[in-house]
Structure 1
Amino acid sequence: MTPPVPSVPPASQPVFPLPCGMVLRPWREADAGVLVAAYEDPGIRHWNRPEPETPDSAVARIRRWHGRWSEGGAAMWALGRPGPDPAVGLVGLGDIDRRGGSAEFLYWLLPEGRGHGAMEQAVRAVSHWAFTDAGLHRLRICHSVANPASCAVATRAGFLLEGTMRGALLHADGFHDEHLHARLATDGPVLAEPAPGS
């Protein structure tokens, strides 16, 4: 029996309040400066390898994300405080394969968003949406083995470490081995309370 094809996303991208007081919301063109700042942040640039951004290219990228949402190919949220303030981070799903029921997480935080457990909560919220609303079956997180912060987010959000992919991704300092984490829709509830101190 052929499994059902996951549903297409709703017309409007949902907003998710997080326990830490932040929210996940659609990107706004007014957030363009955040993408410029993300490229300028050494940690984000090293681990996430973003493309160089100008204010104009950042606006164009946000518009492409909105288009990808409408097409069902990607789902990118801005992470920030409620209200008009600019975002402090990104979390989303790229490479959405509707027929195969899978997608890969992308995430980063600017320094002002770190230390609140926000990213673990954001990954859990997007996972819940992906499994219950988008009908996906498998989500994965890949990161350099030299990036323990990303590994901690994946582990605390319930993504099991499945293995190490050798020389899998080229960073500025050469090829890195990558951890592969994954979570299935059948792995149990996603929106558990975060671990103490996360």
Structure 2
Amino acid sequence: MLKPVALEMYGLLLRPWERRDLDAVRRGLADPDFRRWNTVDSPPPDEDGAREFLASRTANWERGVGASFAVTDPTGDVVLGHINIGMIDFDAHRSGRVGYWVLPEARGRGIASHALEAMTRWAFGDLRLHRLELGHAVGNDASCRVAGRCGYRYEGELRGAMFDTGGVPRDIHVHGRLATDPFPRLTGIAVRPT
């Protein structure tokens, strides 16, 4: 079991998902950009899908295979997006796979980059992981830029490695970061008053 924690860095609060976040999850899952770039096994973009999303995130903490956070403003009240480490292997490879999304109204402010860096530092520090991997559909240039800003090096392309929400096979870019890689220098304030 992983003990759920909250992380504060870069003007963001990353906290475990809560029931009160149901509407933010539903909006995230229904976002056309989320649907465009994600996989066929994404929960449906409705209230049942949002409940499924929340339940699976809690279960992953309990089973010790994933750590999932609501990315929020400093108060923890305004959800801006989601970030997680899944497929955690604490034993043989000390590795995990990261994923994230940002709600449309919070895009363009560096939220994904700052949340990814905060979670990465936690994973390499507190969890003592050695490698994190990030995969995204080819063509998702925004995710490619986030990976680069956070020191996740481009490592190659996997052909037909995912099926999108329409069931069409897509190629993915793979990026990786090691605990021994230098920390990137992120600048700017991730959250500004609305």
TM class, shorter-length: 0.7 to 0.9
Alignment of 1:47-86 (within 5 A): 47-49=37-39, 50-83=42-75, 85-86=77-78
Aligned to 1:91: 83
RMSD: 2.1
Q: Does 1:26 align with 2:16?
A: yes
Structure 1: distance between partners of 2:147 and 2:134: 7
Aligned to 1:41: 31
Structure 1: distance between partners of 2:34 and 2:74: 23
Aligned to 2:8: 17
State the 1:61 CA deviation: 3.1
Q: Which runs of 5+ in 2 are unaligned?
A: none
Alignment of 1:108-127 (within 5 A): 108-127=101-120
What is the TM-score when the length of structure 1 is the normalising length?
Answer: 0.85
Q: Does 1:147 align with 2:140?
A: yes
What is the TM-score when the length of structure 2 is the normalising length?
Answer: 0.86
User: 3-state DSSP class of the match of 2:100?
Assistant: strand
Q: Deviations over 1:91-128 (max 9, x none)?
A: 01111112121111110011111111111111111111
Aligned to 1:175: 169
State the 1:88 CA deviation: 2.1
State the 1:57 CA deviation: 4.5
Q: Does 1:162 align with 2:155?
A: yes
Matched residues, number: 186
User: 3-state DSSP class of the match of 1:46?
Assistant: helix
State the 1:85 CA deviation: 2.6
Aligned to 1:131: 124
Structure 2: distance between partners of 1:66 and 1:173: 27
Residue identity over aligned pairs, in percent, reads 35
State the 1:166 CA deviation: 1.4
Q: Which segments of structure 1 move beyond 6 Å, counting only runs of 4 or more?
A: none
User: 3-state DSSP class of the match of 2:123?
Assistant: helix
Contact kept? 1:31, 1:86, Cα under 8 Å: no
Structure 2: distance between partners of 1:90 and 1:168: 23
User: 3-state DSSP class of the match of 2:186?
Assistant: coil
Contact kept? 1:48, 1:108, Cα under 8 Å: no
**Which structure would you say has the larger RCO, counting Cα contacts within 8 Å and 6 or more residues apart?**
2
Q: Which runs of 5+ in 1 are unaligned?
A: 1-7
Structure 2: distance between partners of 1:84 and 1:142: 28
Structure 2: distance between partners of 1:91 and 1:148: 18
